Amino acid sequence: MLISGQNSCISCLIHSFSKVKEIYIDIDKKHLFSKLIDQYKANNKTTYIKINDLKKRKGFNDIKSHDAIHIIRENYSPSSLGEITKNNNENSLIIIADQLTDQNNIGNIIRTALLMGADGLILPEHSSAQMTGTTSNTSSGAIEALKFHISKNLGRTLEQLKKESYWIYSLDMGGELLDTEFKIDKRAAIIVGNEGSGIRKNIIDKSDFIISIPQLKIMGVDSYNAANSIAIAAYHYRLNIK
């Protein structure tokens, strides 16, 4: 799998170096990355090359000329649910994206989840964005540091989370207002839904709480996007556990 761009590639080197197969660096920008390559003893994996020459190689035709570094790495591998829930701490946040297909939204959610201290992201097996080089770019490399689990049956996954003392919160415009009085439990899983249809009814029905983000009523603008909703809810969670 090909990932490109400074943030994505540096994150890959820092967090997933064992997964790196090949590194290609614009020879004119060698000075920007030489210390990092030396630090990770990656010279044997690194090729310095003119970007225009790299673009002529199979698999690199669509790279952007302004990206000075590109990495071929192993495909992203999902974690088991147990690897995400093994945190036995009193505080634990898990983000769940129900049938979210937009790469920009999923990338921003991954970045937010990581920076808000979430233990992982859960996605249903079907009708979800795939974890690709695009995800690396849209998450600004955060996918390298956040565990994700692919659930074959999200309903059963929620039941398992409840057994492990998680409370389930679904984001929906018809839910209880997430205001300063609302307290999110210290072990929480927050669900956000598809950009158009929202969270599936059978998933909402398994939730402990249905919550909505405060917003002004603006004609022609119906709601926050999925990534913004998760950012606000995750920040509310962080404030609750201080």
The mean pLDDT of 124-143, rounded to a whole number, is 94
Q: Which domain holds residue 116?
A: 81-240
Mean pLDDT score of the chain: 94
Please classify residue 180 by burial: count the beta carbons closer than 10 Å to its beta carbon, then call 0-12 exposed, 13-18 middle and 19+ buried: exposed
Query: Which residue among 73, 99, 128 closes a domain?
Result: 73
Which pTM value belongs to this model? 0.93
Q: Are residues 68 and 89 in the same domain?
A: no
Q: Are residues 194 and 121 in the same domain?
A: yes
Q: Are residues 102 and 213 in the same domain?
A: yes
Please name which of 140, 104, 102 lies closest in space to residue 12, comparing C-alpha atoms.
140
Please, which pLDDT band fits residue 72 given cuts at 50, 70 and 90? very high
The 3-state secondary structure of 67-106, one letter per residue = CCEEEEECCCCCCCHHHHHCCCCCCEEEEEEECCCCHHHH
Please, which pLDDT band fits residue 196 given cuts at 50, 70 and 90? confident
Query: Distance between CA 109 and CA 226 in Å, rounded?
Result: 8
Q: Is the pLDDT of residue 197 over 90?
A: no
Report pLDDT digits (tens) over 207-219.
999 999 988 888 8
Mark residue 117 as left, alpha or beta (left: phi above 0; alpha: psi -120 to 50; beta: remaining): left
Q: Are residues 13 and 125 in the same domain?
A: no
Q: Are residues 69 and 85 in the same domain?
A: no
The mean pLDDT of 17-37, rounded to a whole number, is 95
In order, the DSSP letters of 132-171 are: SHHHHHHTTTGGGTS-EEEES-HHHHHHHHHHTTPEEEEE
Identify the pLDDT of residue 109: 96
Q: Are residues 62 and 112 in the same domain?
A: no
Q: Are residues 55 and 94 in the same domain?
A: no
Q: Is the pLDDT of residue 180 over 90?
A: no
